[in-house]
Amino acid sequence: MKKTVTLLLLMCSTLLYGQQKLINNANALAEKVEAKTIEWRHDIHQNPELSNREFKTAEKIANHLKSLGIEVQTGVAHTGVVGILKGGKPGPVIGLRADIDALPVTERGDLPYKSIVKSTYNGVETGVMHACGHDTHIAMLMGVAEVLSKMKNDLSGTVKFIFQPAEEGAPPNEEGGAKLMVEEGVLKNPDVDVVFGMHISSDTPVGEIEYKSGGLLAAADRFVIKVKGVQSHGSAPWNSVDPIVTSAQIINGIQTIVSRSAELTNEAAVITVGMIKGGVRNNIIPEEVEMIGTIRTLDIGMQDLIHERLRSVATNIAISMGAVAEVTIQKFTPVTYNDPALTAKVEPWLNEVTGEGKSRIVKAVTGAEDFAFYANEVPSFFYFVGGCPLGEDPKKAAPHHTPDFRVDDAGMLTGVKAMLNLTIKYMNEPLK
């Protein structure tokens, strides 16, 4: 019995030593590829492309993966790229995901790699900018692919690199993003056991990682309210049923749903009207007004409640003013859910990357991420990587999706090392 225990301890020690040797090698290679990773990021930042139009970005990614000897699939979910790297030993199949699209935002600031790209979005001419850090996600995963390709023979399993388009949402009347990638079989052939994803954060200090078990990011739903009234001359409003005034009352009314109907001690919720269209002239009361907005929830029961209350409040306010309100609600993105067992497993691994205290649990975020569609299919883990320059106040960082958004190149090495650490350790210690 004593000999058996000693033998088992020796085997465990040998395995741990071998794993740590792999990690050390991966970290050393990550440091060597850091300069290239930053160079890729700058090039991608200067040449952003909108959702489902990431043609040159996809070509750059595919060419890089092919140069590493990785099997490549292109045209997945329109412009997605998938790379498959089979290790020299048997083991789990691990998906690593990066989103690749930019936003219709005109960049400010004076970065030497600032975007000056112009395009058209929803019929409006606009600048195009990586205003959410997807340029860093691409570059980091390209760096991870380069490192792992050099360690191929020592890897116990298969890595599937998922470069996903349209995370910010497909253009009107198009499909796209993670949902379409899943539908087209990105988690099959070979079947993926687990997926890891990361997102850089402008208000998290460089070198730090943030995460949460369970619901991390909110479900995102889109609503449209069409208010139909009676048109009239602006000088005689008594002849109208004014859809603009009715819409104003509806906007005020739906703000009470979260404050008075949602049990906010359980989870956060948000209702925002982001667009309102109605009228063509100052002295004409129009016949119709359209409002478009978003609902963010972290709880399915609360999501159902808010949908029901939104329909009821909008419809009944309109009736009270003699108008008609038609409410349409579309579910777009589910809650991004970190598998609790997987989260518990990876927590110490992240601390090894950042140092104790620099990988920490945070509260849920009302932003949304279509990474949720992978997490709905297989155990998954999504985390935030710090991009706020050291010495700057994270509270003063420009938010994502704004013209002044920026993240520090120095944060990307932590992201690369974290993804390498999760991949190699999971290969040797998968979920039971």
Residue of 321, 326, 328, 327 lying closest to 246 (CA atoms): 321
What would the DSSP string read from start to end of 104-143? Answer: S----S--TT----EEEETTEEEE-B-TTSHHHHHHHHHH
The catalytically annotated residue of 54, 167, 203, 408 is: 167
Query: Is there a catalytic annotation at residue 290?
Result: no
The catalytically annotated residue of 54, 99, 101, 288 is: 101
Determine phi and psi for 420, rounding to 5 degrees: -65, -45
User: Locate tokens 């209702």: which residue?
Assistant: 271
Region label for 140, one of left (φ > 0), alpha (ψ between -120 and 50) or beta (otherwise): alpha
What would the DSSP string read from start to end of 324-339? Answer: EEEEEEEEEE--EEE-
| C-beta pairs of 181-190 under 8 Å, 24+ apart in sequence | 181/76, 181/77, 181/80, 181/373, 182/373, 182/374, 182/377, 184/76, 184/77, 186/76, 186/77, 186/80, 186/82, 186/95, 186/160, 186/162, 187/95, 187/374, 187/377, 187/378, 190/84, 190/93, 190/158, 190/160
Determine phi and psi for 34, rounding to 5 degrees: -60, -45
Which class for 63: exposed (0-12), middle (13-18), buried (19 or more C-beta within 10 A)?
exposed
Query: Is there a catalytic annotation at residue 429?
Result: no
Query: Using the 8-state DSSP alphabet, how is residue 269 labeled?
Result: E
Neighbouring CB atoms inside 10 A of 430's CB total 17
Orientation of helix 55-67 relative to helix 2-46, angle to 10° = 140
Q: How many residues does the chain have?
A: 432
Tokens of 417: 């090392």
Which are the catalytic amino acids? 101, 167
